[in-house]
Structure 1
Amino acid sequence: MNKTDFRLNGTPSQALAAATLGFFFGAMAISLFGPTARALSTSMGLSPLQVGLLVAAPSLTGSLLRIPFGASVDVNGGRRSFNFLMAVSVIGLIGLSALFSTRYPDRMDGLYGLVLLLGCLAGCGIATFSVGVSQVSYWFRRKEQGFALGFFGGLGTASAGVLALGLPLLLAGFGFVWAYDILTGIMLAGALIYFFLSCNAPYFQLRQAGFSETESRQRAADLGQELFPAGNIRDSLRISAGIPQTWLLVGTYFTTFGGFIALTAWFPTYWQQAQGLSAIHAGVLTMVFSVLAALMRVPGGAIADRLGGVKVCFGALAAAAVSCVLMSLDLGWPGLFAVSVVMAVAFGFNNAAVMKLIPVYVQKSVGGASGWIGGLGAFGGFVFPPLLGQLVAMSPERGFGWGFLMFAALAVLNMLLNYFGMVRRA
């Protein structure tokens, strides 16, 4: 392209819409196995620990890949990374669909490892979160980032809750195999939507058009861009890793976003086994928790713009700790569901506050910080389900309650660490 012919592609609103829609489809993999865990467990003869690992498998790649791919936005702008992750996710779902079409339900013996592998591939779409966070951060001014990131994370993550109910309905209406075939088609449609709608922030478009570093920054600033990358992927990760608040935000996000992913995948099992509800009923309650926790990031981000991310973070963690303690009590499923709603609001507000604080504390390496925080934070979605499964295996009567107390203890620990690392340090 001749530099004199340069025309900016897209707008902040278009970039936000593309990232949100892309992540909406990619994040569906959070609920890939949760609603079908009982059926797969029966078909393959799995233990509670193996069920927990299966439910968590998509979150393994969906969390760890956020680290390098989030940092890659500081180099390529994000569009290339996002497209790659969505393509791999589609490949994983095609593999699962083909496997289930030929082997489910009577010929699944010995295929547990393969199902785990394909689940990990399908989970790559979850990793688009850190790519989208960085893309949106570079497009929007600082004063607008709380709302924009809350909109992106809230509406995007809501798909996990939608699928928590949608998959049981597909199973009831079309059967096990067709349900995964339809899910594969939906994921492919989402990948294509992002491919055609997405656009990088002005600086990255200017660099690709051949402008120099200095000229690209100047012209992008004239177009309204306020944040700029610090260097390559290694520099981005190194700079962000050297800032203490990055690791405080990792721990906080590990508890509430990792907890959100884990409970979205685990709640169908909890409502059915611990409370004796049907699969559809369990799917409805899981969907309410998951969608509400996701959507609360939108008002949570807006409130964080006004009050500051630290205040919102502390209030949300306190509410999360109290609600998790109540979830360990025998309140009956209606009472526990009401408490889970409060917990969902608390998780959503805290997740929005964390995203708001990334460009506050790590201005020169938003991509790298998004990778560390989004990746290691979301890793809780892989760590927690096997732990929950093991607690239930150790004590079928009390194990579920112990799991919620674990989240309460982590929330209190985060409050203490953040107080000394953010409030007192400031």
Structure 2
Amino acid sequence: MNKADFKLNGTPTRALTAATLGFFFGAMAISLFGPTARALSTSMGLSPMQVGLLVAAPSLTGSLFRIPFGASVDVNGGCRSFNVLMAASVIGLVGLSVLFSTRFPDRMDGLYGLVLLLGCLAGCGIATFSVGVSQVSYWFRKKDQGFALGVFGGLGTASAGVLALGLPVLLAAFGFVWAYYILTGIMIAGALIYFFLSCNAPYFQLRDAGFSEKESRSRAAGLGQELFPAGNIRDSLRISAGIPQTWLLVGTYFTTFGGFIALTAWFPTYWQQAQGLAPIHAGVLTMVFSVLAAVMRVPGGLVADRLGGVKVSFGALTAAAAACAAMNLDLGWVGLFAVSVVIAVAFGFNNAAVMKLIPVYVQKSVGGASGWVGGLGAFGGFVFPPLLGQFVAMSPEHGFGWGFLLFTALAVVNMLLNYFGMVRRA
């Protein structure tokens, strides 16, 4: 391209819209197996821990792939990485649809490992989170990042709750196999929407157009870009890993975003088996929890812009610790649902606060920090469900409630570490 012919493609609003829509479709995989766990468990004869591992499978790649792909934004701007992850998710869903159409329900013996593998592949769409966080951070000025990232994370992750209800409805209307084919078609549509709408931040467009590093930074700054990458993927990960607050944010995000993913996948099983509710009823309650936890990132981001991320995080963790402990009380499903709403609000506010704090503490390597925080933090979505299933295996009567004490304990530990690592250090 002739430098004289350069014209910026896109705006911050367009970039935010593309990233949010792309992540909205990619994040649906969080609920890929939760609503169908009971049917798959019956078909394959699974134990409670195997069920927990099954519902968590998409979160394995959805979390760990956030690390390299988040850091890759500092090199390629993000669009290429986002498209690769969406394509992988589509391939996984196509594989599951074909498998279920030929083997479900009576010929599923010995296919547990293959279902896990395809679920992990479908979960790649969840990993678009760290890519989108970095893209949005590079497009927006620091004073507006809390709100922008709240919109991205809040509206994007709402899809997991929508699918928690939508999949049982599809199952009832079209049957098991066609429900997954329809889900595959929706994912393909989402991948195409992002492909045609997305745009990298000004610095990356200028650099790709042939401008020098100095010219790209200077012109991008004139266009409103305030954050710039520090180097290649390795440098981005190394620089961010050398900042202590990165690891404090990882731990905090592990508790609340990992918890959000885990409970979105686990609640359909919880409401059906622990409270005896019907699948669609369980889907409605799970949807409310998941959507609320997601959209609360928007006001959470606004409050974090005004009060600071650290204060919002401490308040949210306190509420989460108390509410998760209350899940052990004999309140009936209505009372426990009310408690789950408090957990959703607390998780959403803390997740927004953590995203606000990334560009505050790791200004020179937002992509790398987003990868570490988004990847290892979201890894909780893979770790927690098998542990929750193990509590149930240990005590079918009390195990469902005991599992929530994991989040209480972790929230308390997070507050202690953050106090000494952020408040006292500051």
Quickly name the TM-score band, shorter chain normalised: over 0.9
**Would you say 1:136 and 2:136 are equivalent positions?**
yes
Q: Which residue of 2 aligns with 1:45?
A: 45
Residues 20-31 of structure 1 mapped to structure 2, 5 A cutoff = 20-31=20-31
Query: Partners of 2:421 and 2:260 in 1: how far apart?
Result: 24
1:349-376 Cα offsets, whole Å, 9 max, x none, are 0000000000000000000000000000
Aligned 1:251-330 pairs, distance under 5 A: 251-330=251-330
TM (norm. structure 1) is 1.00
Counterpart for residue 102 of structure 2? 102
Secondary structure, in 3 states, of the residue corresponding to 2:186? helix
Q: For 1:150-190, what per-residue CA distance to the aligned partner results, in whole angstroms no more than 9, with x for missing partners?
A: 00000000000000000000000000000000000000000
Q: Could you report, residue by residue, the CA deviation over 1:101-152 in whole angstroms, capped at 9, with x for unpaired residues?
A: 1110011011000000000000000000000000000000000000000000
- Post-superposition CA distance 1:42-74 (Å, at most 9, x none): 000111111011000000000000000000000
In the alignment, which residue of structure 1 is the partner of 2:377?
Answer: 377
The gaps in structure 2 that reach 5 residues or longer are none
Aligned twin of 1:83? 83
> 1:328 Cα deviation (Å)?
1.5
TM-score by length of 2: 1.00
Superposed counterparts of 1:340-351, under 5 Å: 340-351=340-351
> Secondary structure at 1:109's aligned position in 2?
coil
The structural deviation recorded for 1:12 is 0.1
Q: How many Å apart are 1:402 and its aligned residue?
A: 1.0
Once residues 74 and 332 of structure 1 are traced to their aligned partners in structure 2, the CA distance between those partners, rounded to angstroms, is 49
Q: 2-side partners of 1:90 and 1:406: how far apart? A: 33
- 1:223 is aligned with what amino acid? L
Question: 5 Å matches for 1:148-159?
Answer: 148-159=148-159
Q: Which letter does structure 2 place at the counterpart of 1:236?
A: S
Residue type of the alignment partner of 1:167? L
The residue aligned with 2:398 is 398
Aligned to 1:211: 211
Instruction: Check if 1:168 corresponds to 2:199.
Output: no
Aligned partners of 2:342, 2:50: CA distance in 1, in Å? Answer: 30
Residue number in structure 2 paired with 1:415: 415
Q: Deviations over 1:373-399 (max 9, x none)?
A: 000000000000000001100110111
- Partner residue, 2:180: 180
Q: Within 1, Cα distance between the matches of 2:406 and 2:212?
A: 51
C-alpha separation in 1, matches of 2:327 and 2:346: 14
**Aligned residue for 1:3?**
3
2-structure distance, mates of 1:141, 1:106: 55
What is the DSSP-based 3-state SS (H/G/I as helix, E as strand, rest coil) of the residue aligned with 1:55?
Answer: helix
The equivalent residue for 1:237 is 237
- Give the AA of the match of 1:173: A
Please give the alpha-carbon distance, in whole angstroms, between the structure 2 residues aligned to 1:110 and 1:343: 38
Aligned-residue offset at 1:341: 0.4
- Identity, in percent, stands at 90
Q: Matched residues in 1 for 2:261 and 2:299: separation?
A: 20
The 1-side partners of 2:124 and 2:312 are apart by: 30
Query: Secondary structure of 2:277's partner?
Result: coil
Letter in 1 for 2:181: D
Aligned length: 426
**Paired AA for residue 285 in structure 2:** L
Q: For structure 1, list consecutive stretches of 5 or more residues without a partner in the other structure.
A: none
Q: Which stretch shifts more, 228-237 or 322-331?
A: 322-331
1:24 partner amino acid: F
1:406 offset after TM fit, Å? Answer: 1.1
Rounded Cα–Cα distance in structure 1 between residues aligned with 2:267 and 2:111? 25
How far has the Cα of 1:401 moved from its partner? 1.2
Amino acid at match of 1:209: A
In 2: Cα distance, 1:328 partner to 1:76 partner: 47
Distance (whole Å) between structure 2 residues aligned to residue 99 and residue 380 of structure 1: 28
Q: Aligned equivalents of 1:329 and 1:6: distance in 2?
A: 63
Aligned partner of 1:362 in structure 2 is 362
Letter paired with 2:15: A
Write the distance in 2 (CA, Å) between the matches of 1:372 and 1:291: 25
* Deviation for aligned residue 1:264: 0.1
Whole-angstrom distance in 1 between the partners of 2:104 and 2:322? 42
How far apart in 2 are the matches of 1:27 and 1:8? 29
Matched, 1:192 2:192: yes
- Alpha-carbon distance in structure 2 between the residues aligned to 1:179 and 1:296: 29
Partner of 1:128, secondary structure, is helix
For the residues of structure 1 that align with 2:91 and 2:328, how far apart are their CA atoms?
A: 39
Give the root-mean-square deviation of aligned CA atoms.
0.3
